[in-house]
Structure 1
């Protein structure tokens, strides 16, 4: 579809649908003010979860399941080659777009085309994804906060698995590692909850600091742990889990978000990934759709990373430079924003991301074979041939 080659047989349609819904939540959250004063104000007229929370839990689930199932095939021990291959592939997927949009944002803010401050930009911090590791940042390339959280998960989770699965204690290791990071995140939020914040600064200090949010990803890992080790229960309780997740979300949506409350400062950000993870067993059952709509949803899922990086940039450009565009047709302005975001993401993929990925995959194929020989050599106690 649209010239994008996708192996639909290897896609999990239910999670593609969830990923497409997540990116809609993100984009709509940034552009919904365009509908103010129209018949669609308040659309879709029901509370929506935070799209980033969905991405966090889904990332933890898919990556966690990949490592758990992979380690289980090698006597419960993660092989170094699999970890290296994952690090290389995630770098190929994340870094090209990230560094390109980082440079674009710097140029636009420096040129005052976008609002913001380059004083908040540090090449070293942004290059190493440490701009919000345990302290807040703001006013420059806002959307990068979640990428930093994800990247530290990508680095630390396989690294700790390599260490903890040496004694073939995969099942216990997943729980210990996940429990550690969930505890750390909660302790961090407890530690900073004594300060009174307004809504803006609560968002900056609580929701957009990596150490405060990494628990969301590890709740996804725990869901993968249940999916692998308790597969029958995963299937049996899919519907009750889904209903429980929806009920938790509705309760969360009805509780006032008081930035001075213990609930909002400490509990809320851990409840969100729990309700999302409870949806997964039923979503896991959704089969691949061969319809045009189903394939388009998969394309949206496929382009969601690019759409995430571009949508805030586009809405800022529209708000600053074209505030009166389609002033009497705000609904069309909103639809234009969606179209520009999708088109920009499509072009970014076709002209930049795909060519880099094609070249990178050829290199990674060679390195994968090398790591496989290394792992086989370790297993047999021999040194691999050069």
Structure 2
């Protein structure tokens, strides 16, 4: 795998690599559900934080693209080209693995979900929890509809309110964050139950309540460009605040006894926005971390590159097939440890193959002359 490190930022690759490793390791709990105490709790936390890191990082990267591409103003051809590039990046892998999941379900003799059509339009978790089919896909509608909404809303503010392009971007991000908070207020007052399983499926993984998640990263992109001195000068202070915030999320909330049954407002209103803010505090330092020793840089960058394939493959494909052919119920704890190693190894190998033979070639089409000819802004 040839990598042009001059075009990459190690700190952001590290952020993506940590995110996918958190998610992949957390699903080892399907193999060892009886894992007791702190290790089990940390794996559950890693599963939550991994996806939240992806959201903030995605917002930061997409925000920088939007600010650069529309620095002077928004135009139809530029917006279309932005969408085309994003869709070449996300849709081919998604639809391929969606069909693979359909094949797996039919092979196992199970019933496909009644709302299968929703998966093709990214509506599977638009307003309520989704079926257990292709469960890790819950985050992708949030990503796709953010990519769709962000330039449309910014264009509307720029066009009809005559705002400068960067201000339209800023107000879009702030407005969507406020919208996200208001939906959580609605959830707290109308829907909430004091149960973590319900919270995990009906709030954390429902698109209408989570559209704000990526816009925290977009605010970071705006701060990095228009408050660059503050962003650079205070990056270590912000990093330390991020560490303190992460300690509060990981250990402080349990120590304070702020559990959902006694403090539902903490989880329903504050937990997810606070996670996003804390993760965003790491961006100034990580975005300035350009490189690292060769052996570390190579490993981190490669994991970062195959992270999307890993996300789509690791659970519903690799782990589900493993569990089908090699059930774990009667295995000893030592055997389950070996099982986890097999699961991780297969995930890395399958993801690398998918990236090389399919994901990367599909992404390369973004730069094909015909795509640029018909979609790129002049």
Q: Please give the TM-score of this superposition, normalised by the length of structure 2.
A: 0.88
Distance 1:332 1:5 in 2: 32
Q: Indicate the residue corresponding to 1:186 in structure 2.
A: 181
1:341-377: CA deviation from partner (whole Å, max 9, x where unpaired): 011111112232233334x2354x33324445xx55x
Q: Indicate the residue corresponding to 1:307 in structure 2.
A: 310
- Name the count of aligned residue pairs: 363
Correspondence 1:347 to 2:370: no
Distance 2:42 2:196 in 1: 22
Distance 1:24 1:120 in 2: 32
Distance 2:291 2:41 in 1: 26
| Deviation for aligned residue 1:52 | 0.5
> Using a 3 Å threshold, how does the CA distance of structure 1 residues 78 and 288 change in structure 2: closer, same or farther?
farther
Contact between 1:117 and 1:139, CA under 8 Å: does it hold in 2?
Answer: no
The equivalences for 1:127-138 within 5 A come to 127-138=120-131
| Deviation for aligned residue 1:145 | 0.8
| Deviation for aligned residue 1:150 | 0.1
Q: Indicate the residue corresponding to 2:94 in structure 1.
A: 98
| Deviation for aligned residue 1:23 | 0.2
1:94-138: CA deviation from partner (whole Å, max 9, x where unpaired): 11111111111122123336xx75234422x11111111222212
Correspondence 1:110 to 2:106: yes
Counterpart of 2:135 in 1: which secondary structure?
A: coil
Correspondence 1:119 to 2:105: no
Distance 1:135 1:34 in 2: 27
Q: Indicate the residue corresponding to 1:154 in structure 2.
A: 147
Contact between 2:231 and 2:284, CA under 8 Å: does it hold in 1?
Answer: yes
The equivalences for 1:271-282 within 5 A come to 271-282=274-285
Correspondence 1:141 to 2:143: no
Of the three residues 8, 22, 38, the one matched with 2:5 is: 8
Correspondence 1:361 to 2:356: no
The equivalences for 1:142-221 within 5 A come to 142-166=135-159, 167-193=162-188, 194=190, 195-221=192-218
| Deviation for aligned residue 1:203 | 0.8
Distance 2:147 2:135 in 1: 20
> Using a 3 Å threshold, how does the CA distance of structure 1 residues 95 and 163 change in structure 2: closer, same or farther?
same
Superposed CA RMSD in Å reads 2.6
Of the three residues 39, 42, 53, the one matched with 1:42 is: 39
Correspondence 1:338 to 2:340: no
Counterpart of 2:39 in 1: which secondary structure?
A: coil
Q: Indicate the residue corresponding to 1:380 in structure 2.
A: none
| Deviation for aligned residue 1:226 | 0.6
> Using a 3 Å threshold, how does the CA distance of structure 1 residues 161 and 240 change in structure 2: closer, same or farther?
same
Distance 2:40 2:268 in 1: 28
Distance 1:25 1:266 in 2: 24
| Deviation for aligned residue 1:156 | 0.8
Contact between 2:8 and 2:290, CA under 8 Å: does it hold in 1?
Answer: no
Contact between 1:96 and 1:353, CA under 8 Å: does it hold in 2?
Answer: yes
Q: Indicate the residue corresponding to 2:267 in structure 1.
A: 264
| Deviation for aligned residue 1:35 | 5.6
Correspondence 1:251 to 2:245: no
Correspondence 1:64 to 2:70: no
Of the three residues 315, 322, 325, the one matched with 1:321 is: 325
Structure 1, gaps ≥5 residues long = 377-386
Distance 1:367 1:321 in 2: 43
Contact between 1:120 and 1:137, CA under 8 Å: does it hold in 2?
Answer: no
| Deviation for aligned residue 1:326 | 7.0
